[in-house]
């Protein structure tokens, strides 16, 4: 696997950083569980940043890089499904995209709202439908998961769904890559915010980041975050179901371990909305249970690798 980014990938990430610069910080006096921006979403779509996977010279690995970079923003962006799953089905599918499996009725779904495209995997068949008020319980003003979420209350009839001649396993592979890429970006942003805080917060006359106990645990968090990133990139290059399941498993396990430490290191600030840490860690909590959580992804990895 080529570890260095190509010139095209560097230019794309630089362009994203430039476009997203106004959204890189939390608006003053905006204290909420979830932040979204229709303007940012529109600019990303119009700029073609969510369509890079369909370009042969860029592919899913570049799409995974885009998802990871966007996940670092305090604003939640529906990028993973659009950038990695939509090209398999129909590049013109209306956004946002929501991904669900059998058993999703009665559960909260990320980015679900009337007008959203819901991609549904059931018994090896891939379908989609446009959500309306018959399918969605009105979302609450605040989402404890730091994503815009709503509860799926019903599915349309089979004849109302559009079916695709694509393997459900292929969709699951891309879904897992997107999950891992998003989790990697969230962990990187949460780690950076934590490092900044402990470098400035003083106790006993010196920054608490100088205490060995914190430094060791921050170093471990960096290793876990880096591992999630590189496993994601490998899976995006190979598009192997085993690699994708392992990447999702490691990302979910790493997220479970680091989110506890990050909030502990911030002390009382880690329990407030005034500090933006929750915008990344609460999104991680939602991702930890996606696709059946660590147990289901571990079983998927074992099955893909050892049959």
User: pLDDT tens for residues 143-196?
Assistant: 678 899 999 999 999 899 999 999 999 999 999 999 999 999 999 999 999 999
Domains and CATH numbers, the chain: 168-306 (1.20.140.10)
Q: Cβ-count burial of 228 within 10 angstroms (0-12 exposed, 13-18 middle, 19+ buried)?
A: buried
Quick check: 305 pLDDT over 80? yes
Pairwise CA distance, residues 135 & 153, whole Å? 5
Q: Which of 10-19, 132-141, 262-271 has the lowest mean pLDDT?
A: 132-141
CB atoms within 10 A of CB 100: 18
The per-residue pLDDT for 41 is 94
In percent, how much of the chain has pLDDT > 90? 70
Q: Which residues pair with 101 in a beta bridge?
A: 121
Q: Which of 107, 109, 129, 110 is nearest to 118 (CA)?
A: 129
Quick check: 221 pLDDT over 70? yes
Indicate the SS3 state at residue 162: strand
Pairwise CA distance, residues 218 & 262, whole Å? 9
Task: Return the biggest CA–CA distance within the chain.
Answer: 68
Pairwise CA distance, residues 283 & 71, whole Å? 10
Quick check: 10 pLDDT over 70? yes
* Predicted TM-score (pTM) above 0.85: yes
The per-residue pLDDT for 139 is 63
For the segment 236-279, what is each residue's pLDDT rounded down to a tens digit?
A: 999 999 999 999 999 999 999 999 999 988 887 777 778 889 99
Quick check: 2 pLDDT over 80? no
Is the separation of the CB atoms in 2 and 10 below 8 Å? no
Phi, psi of 259 (to 5 degrees): -65, -35
For the segment 67-125, what is each residue's pLDDT rounded down to a tens digit?
A: 999 999 999 999 999 999 999 999 999 999 999 998 888 899 999 999 999 999 998 89
Quick check: 1 pLDDT over 70? no
Quick check: 142 pLDDT over 60? no
What six digits make up the tokens of 129? 């439908």
Quick check: 28 pLDDT over 80? no
The per-residue pLDDT for 214 is 82
Quick check: 141 pLDDT over 60? no
Q: Provide the pLDDT confidence category of residue 32 given band limits of 50, 70 and 90.
A: confident
For the segment 272-302, what is each residue's pLDDT rounded down to a tens digit?
A: 778 889 999 999 999 999 999 999 999 999 9
The per-residue pLDDT for 201 is 77
């Amino acid at each position: 696997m080529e570890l260095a980014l190509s010139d095209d990938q560097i230019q794309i990430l630089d362009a994203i950083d430039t476009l997203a610069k106004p959204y890189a910080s939390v608006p003053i006096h905006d204290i909420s569980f979830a932040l979204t921006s229709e303007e940012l979403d529109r600019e990303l779509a119009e700029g073609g940043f969510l369509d890079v996977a369909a370009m042969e010279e860029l592919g899913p690995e570049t799409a995974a890089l885009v998802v990871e970079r966007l996940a670092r923003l305090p604003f939640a962006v529906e990028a993973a499904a659009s950038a990695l799953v939509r090209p398999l089905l129909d590049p013109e599918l209306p956004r946002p995209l929501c991904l669900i499996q059998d058993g999703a009725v009665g559960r909260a779904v990320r980015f679900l709202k009337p007008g959203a495209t819901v991609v549904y995997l059931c018994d090896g068949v891939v379908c989609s439908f446009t959500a309306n008020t018959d399918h969605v319980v009105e979302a609450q003003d605040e989402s404890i998961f730091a994503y815009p979420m709503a509860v799926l209350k019903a599915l349309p009839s089979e004849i109302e769904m559009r079916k695709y001649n694509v393997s459900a396993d292929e969709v699951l592979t891309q879904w897992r890559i997107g999950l891992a890429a998003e989790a990697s970006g969230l962990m990187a942003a949460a780690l950076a915010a934590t490092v900044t805080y402990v470098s400035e917060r003083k106790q006993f006359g010196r920054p608490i980041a100088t205490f060995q106990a914190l430094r060791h645990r921050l170093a471990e968090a960096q290793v876990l975050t880096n591992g999630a990133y590189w496993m994601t990139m490998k899976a995006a290059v190979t598009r192997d179901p085993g690699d994708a399941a392992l990447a999702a498993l490691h990302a979910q396990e790493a997220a479970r371990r680091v989110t506890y430490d990050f909030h502990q290191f911030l002390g009382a600030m880690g329990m407030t909305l005034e500090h933006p840490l929750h915008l990344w860690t609460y999104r991680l909590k939602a991702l930890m249970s996606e696709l059946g959580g660590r147990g289901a992804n571990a079983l998927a990895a074992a099955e893909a690798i050892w049959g």
